Homo-oligomer: A and B are copies of this chain.
Amino acid sequence: MGSKSDILVVGGGPAGIISAVTARRYYPDKKITLIKSVGNGCIPCGIPYMFSSLKDPDENKLGNGALEKNSIDVFVDEVIEIDRKKKQIITKNGKNYGYEKLILAMGSLPAILPIQGIDKKGVYPIYKDMDYLKGAIADIKKTKNVLVLGGGFIGVEFADEISKINGFNVYLVEIFPQLLANSFDSEFSRIVEEKLKENGVNVLTDTKVEEIIGQDCVKKVRFSNGQELDIDSVILGVGVAPNTKLAVDAGLDLGHGKGIWVDEYMRTIDPNIFAVGDCVCKRDFFTRRSTPVMLASTATAEARVAGANLYKLKIIRENKGTIAVYSTYIDGLMLGSAGLTENSAKKEGFEIVAGVACGVDKHPATLPGASEVKVKLIFSRKSGIILGGQVSGGMPCAELINLIGVAIQKRMSSMELEMLQMATHPFLTSAPTTYPVVLAAQDATGKM
């Protein structure tokens, strides 16, 4: 039994959905089919908020609405093989689907650390599967002592969310000396750590889990210093790896970064097979090296490129590589990072100068709801080009990190940023005299 599509998409996450929808815009007459292995998906970055901020976990559902609206056929099934010669795929349910153009968007899988006892009941990797997650959340809510393993974004957000529910002991465990170590310098990580501690989270940095102890279920966790804690459930937030088995089995190349190799237009070595999103190898904006940064915004941009360019290259692209731009929100506090930190820039060998400015995100500072804002910008010392930025502040700073992201993508100089034209308003921004992006640039220029 088989069917034939013109365009076949494997994967139902943001990359898969946007590929299919974009293909529909550009190829209105093609038959488009999307196959996904998970019936009920989730909005990936909303997963931590299914715990308490959302009234009902189902509010975080990633539905089929956009696909249905664009006349894309959707099947829930697992693709187990790509037959490149016959130009068809084969599924676990024994079906096959032919294609003219195939788009692989299999996403990533949670990394499972080789810790003794990690397979015990009560240890929850984060799969983007609504039914699985609803079960996990319900189970965890019945317990008392929760350990979140990994102090990256997902770990920090889970710890914050669970701390909002009364009656839990929450432990956030990070092997490095600081939280969010890939994205922030220590003075920003400290702001996050203090906020979490204020809210009752037990933050354990510089701490390694050695063993998860218990018969079938988690009972205790032992650290490398020998200390043991009573723990009922463990949430694993230690990163993800590209899901590439299908591509490797089909003889497609991987890039240096373990993801599927693609050219500028998301084409694999097979001109009829495209790949997009977390399953694809990413390059770094600054050095062009492979980088493990996986972001929904990168995935959707790649999906737009692939979807438009399936038959002829219509959208001309300069894939600048990922600048790694992130933001998070912890109980009234916004934090964002774009590009290189002072730390990572030095590690990459850049000669840098940093500029810092602190202020208040409204003006005058006595307006209700005003928060402190802090901006740090990293520049190449000789060329003066911006390499990165970090922001902390209140809700009005939400998009400030994306402004810095645009400046990075356009390789602006510190002098250009000093002369920036921006709207300022008492309720929405710092004062024009103290706009922190301008002052941080000025601070850096002064040191060049």
Contact = CB atoms under 8 A, between A and B. Distances in A.
Interface of A: 14, 17-18, 25, 43, 45-46, 49, 53-55, 59-60, 66, 295-301, 304-305, 315-317, 322-323, 325-329, 334, 336-338, 363-364, 366-368, 395-403, 405-407, 409-410, 412, 415-416, 418-429, 431-433, 435, 438, 442, 446
Contacts of A363: 43, 45-46
25 contacts: A17-B433, A43-B426, A45-B432, A46-B363, A53-B426, A54-B364, A295-B432, A297-B424, A297-B432, A298-B421, A300-B432, A300-B433, A323-B421, A328-B425, A338-B423, A396-B396, A399-B399, A399-B400, A399-B428, A406-B410, A406-B412, A406-B420, A409-B420, A409-B421, A410-B412
Contacts of A14: 431-433
Contact of A403 (B296, B399, B421): B399
A329 to B, nearest CB: 4
Task: Indicate how many identical chains form the complex.
Answer: 2
B327 A399 contact: no
A405 B433 contact: no
Contacts of A406: 403, 406-407, 410, 412, 420
Contact of A305 (B54, B366, B419): B419
B405 A422 contact: yes
A310 to B, nearest CB: 16
A367 B53 contact: yes
Given A296-B431, A402-B403, 17 more contacts: A18-B433, A46-B363, A54-B367, A296-B432, A298-B421, A300-B433, A305-B419, A317-B419, A327-B428, A327-B429, A329-B428, A395-B395, A396-B396, A398-B429, A402-B429, A405-B421, A409-B416
B401 A423 contact: yes
Nearest to A332: B427
A59 B304 CA distance: 49
A415 B315 contact: yes
Contact of A410 (B327, B338, B410): B410
A423 B397 contact: no
Nearest to A446: B25
Q: Shortest 4 CB-CB distances between A and B: which pairs?
A: A396-B398, A398-B428, A327-B423, A329-B427
B301 A421 contact: yes
B45 A296 contact: no
A66 B368 CA distance: 24
B395 A46 contact: no
Contact of A422 (B366, B402, B412, B422): B402
The CB with the most chain B CB atoms within 10 A, among A25, A328, A402, A409, is that of A402
